[in-house]
Amino acid sequence: MTGSLDLVVSGAWSPAGDQVDIGIADGRIAAVGAPGEVAAPARVDASDLQLLPGAIDPHVHFNEPGPRTDSEGWATGSAALAAGGVTTALEMPLNASPPTTTVQAFDDKLAAASASSRVDFGLWGGIVPGNLNQLTELAQRGVCGFKAFMSSTGTPDFARSDELTLYEAMSLLAGLPSAPLVAVHAESETITRELAARARGAGRVGVRDYLDSRPVVAETEAIATAIELAATTRCRLHIVHVSTGRGVALVAEARARGIDVSCEVTAHHLLLTEEDAERLGAVAKCAPPLRPRAECEALWSALGDGEVSFVVSDHSPSMPQLREGDAFVAWGGIAGCQSTLELLLSERRLTLPTLTERVAGAVARRFSLPGKGSLAPGNDADLVLVKLGEQRVLDADELRYRHRMSPYVGRELTARVVRTLVRGQTVYADGELVGEPRGRLVTPG
């Protein structure tokens, strides 16, 4: 097999277990053949490496533009993605300031991302009380979906959505030709707010107290409400970072009734437990919180069965000083987008075809991202090459995050991302970033 190709990635092992050559032309996969069948002027020898389609992380927070860029911006965040084998990321409407709840804020964030991102990106729009008049034009701009919080966000510039706000936004969006996806952070404001207030009022401000203030029922009650609203409005619904087996079951039951709803799970809800939260402290604080080991196992099972659609990082970094003191006040969120793929490969609990589906294929389909998510000819040449079987301990010096904080530091890994290509161009190789930022906006097709 020959042709007008630019590059061939030669001899890599595909997820199906056979060796392949991938021919690339004009940033796309132009040919897939057996070793030696594809010729090009330039060649990458990948004969001892695992080939995967570039991962897609649909849930990251990079905080730019605005003052919170001190915690993370597009330059460092996208560098971490590239080093972790992620070639496309969908960035949440907060914690940029102002958040992406207006058309002007979308344009400002697009400019920041276009200038600094090393990987392709999509932008979420936000649903907050009072911005209903912005949603249609945000959808026309090409947001990948709309995000709403059913509980307090902890940031005053992105208010939680009450049930009426959600109902009206879902009704409007369901009626648009593009029928944008609505994603919700599903935790009950009443339960979490009141339990937190009681604990703090009694002077109980430790990690265990924080965990106890966000019980499983806070998640399941909110998921049930979101599903009922979606059923009534015929909105396409996505539940972010489900942390319990019962939460997944509610989504599966709704889907069986014909409701268009999906859910995701984070790497930290798969891999870390409430005992890890108490051991590690605020670096492992998140909402929903880390759960008992039994919930982790339930999520792994649902992931293997396909009841959970995909794995995300929910990368939410901060400056170290914001992680100190009162567990209720300390900044929440896990910094982990660089490690998700290596962690999942090291766990070896999913077959390679299933893993590929959960980090790439299913994401591309749910968000209608054309040219992304698989190694099919005609798709963007978003590729990651991984060395399997080499044991190492994750060191903070490897991390590309601005503050190099992660609960995964010190964890044993047996997978290492060697090279990442975005649209046929190497952006990371052998521990080094390559070239200048070249990320492009991706919009639902």
Q: Please report which confidence band the pLDDT of residue 221 belongs to, taking 50, 70 and 90 as the band edges.
A: very high
Task: Tell me the pairing of strands 310-312 and 55-60.
Answer: unpaired
pLDDT tens digits, 281-303: 999 999 999 999 999 999 999 99
Q: Give the 3-state secondary structure of the chain.
A: CCCCCCEEEEEEECCCCCEEEEEEECCEEEEEECCCCCCCCEEEECCCCEEEECEEEEEECCCCCCHHHHCCCHHHHHHHHHHCCEEEEEECCCCCCCCCCCHHHHHHHHHHHHHHCCCEEEECEECCCCCHHHHHHHHHHCCCCEEEECCCCCCCCCCCCCHHHHHHHHHHHHCCCCCCCEEEECCCHHHHHHHHHHHHHCCCCCHHHHHHCCCHHHHHHHHHHHHHHHHHHCCCEEECCCCCHHHHHHHHHHHHCCCCEEEEEEHHHHHCEHHHHHHHHHHHCCCCCCECHHHHHHHHHHHHHCCCCEEECCECCCCHHHHCCCCCCCCCCECCCCCHHHHHHHHCCCCHHHHHHHHHHHHHHHCCCCCCCCCCCCCECCEEEEEEEEEEECCHHHCCCCCCCCCCCCCEEEEEEEEEEECCEEEEECCEECCCCCCCECCCC
Phi and psi at residue 5, to the nearest 5°: -105, 160
For residues 337 and 86, is the Cβ–Cβ distance under 8 A? Answer: yes
Asked whether the predicted pLDDT for residue 262 surpasses 50, the reply is: yes
Contacts of residues 230-233 at CB distance under 8 Å and 24 or more positions apart, as own/partner, are 230/170, 230/182, 230/254, 230/259, 230/260, 230/261, 231/257, 231/259, 232/167, 233/167, 233/170, 233/171, 233/174
CATH topology of domain 54-366: TIM Barrel (3.20.20)
313 vs 269: CA distance, rounded Å: 10
What are the C-alpha distances in Å from 62 to residues 146, 312, 316? 17, 14, 7
For position 34, what pLDDT does the model report?
Answer: 95
Span of 35-39, 127-131, 414-418 with lowest mean pLDDT? 35-39
Asked whether the predicted pLDDT for residue 232 surpasses 80, the reply is: yes
Asked whether the predicted pLDDT for residue 110 surpasses 50, the reply is: yes
Other CB atoms within a 10 A radius of the CB of residue 71 amount to 26
pLDDT tens digits, 194-213: 999 999 999 999 999 999 99
Domain 7-51+379-433 sits in CATH at 2.30.40.10
In single-letter form, the type of residue at position 13 comes to W
Instruction: Give percent above pLDDT 70 in the chain.
Output: 99
Asked whether the predicted pLDDT for residue 120 surpasses 70, the reply is: yes
For position 26, what pLDDT does the model report?
Answer: 97
| Token reading at 48 | 């001892």
pLDDT tens digits, 303-338: 999 999 999 999 999 999 999 999 999 999 999 999
The pLDDT mean for the chain works out to: 97
For residues 320 and 14, is the Cβ–Cβ distance under 8 A? Answer: no
| Token reading at 332 | 């929440």
Asked whether the predicted pLDDT for residue 164 surpasses 60, the reply is: yes
- Using alpha carbons, select from 183, 191, 241 the residue that is nearest to residue 214: 191
For residues 373 and 361, is the Cβ–Cβ distance under 8 A? Answer: yes
pLDDT tens digits, 24-81: 999 999 999 999 999 999 999 999 999 999 999 999 999 999 999 999 999 999 999 9
For position 1, what pLDDT does the model report?
Answer: 42
For position 3, what pLDDT does the model report?
Answer: 57
pLDDT tens digits, 368-413: 999 999 999 999 999 999 999 999 999 999 999 999 999 999 999 9
Domain ranges in the chain with CATH number 3.20.20.140: 54-366
309 vs 47: CA distance, rounded Å: 31
* pTM > 0.95: yes or no: yes
Q: Please report which confidence band the pLDDT of residue 348 belongs to, taking 50, 70 and 90 as the band edges.
A: very high
In single-letter form, the type of residue at position 445 comes to G
State how far Cα 422 lies from the chain centre: 17
| Token reading at 29 | 């996969």
Other CB atoms within a 10 A radius of the CB of residue 249 amount to 16
Domain ranges in the chain with CATH number 2.30.40.10: 7-51+379-433
For position 2, what pLDDT does the model report?
Answer: 46
129 vs 131: CA distance, rounded Å: 6
User: Which residues are CB-neighbours of 357 under 8 A, at least 6 positions away?
Assistant: none
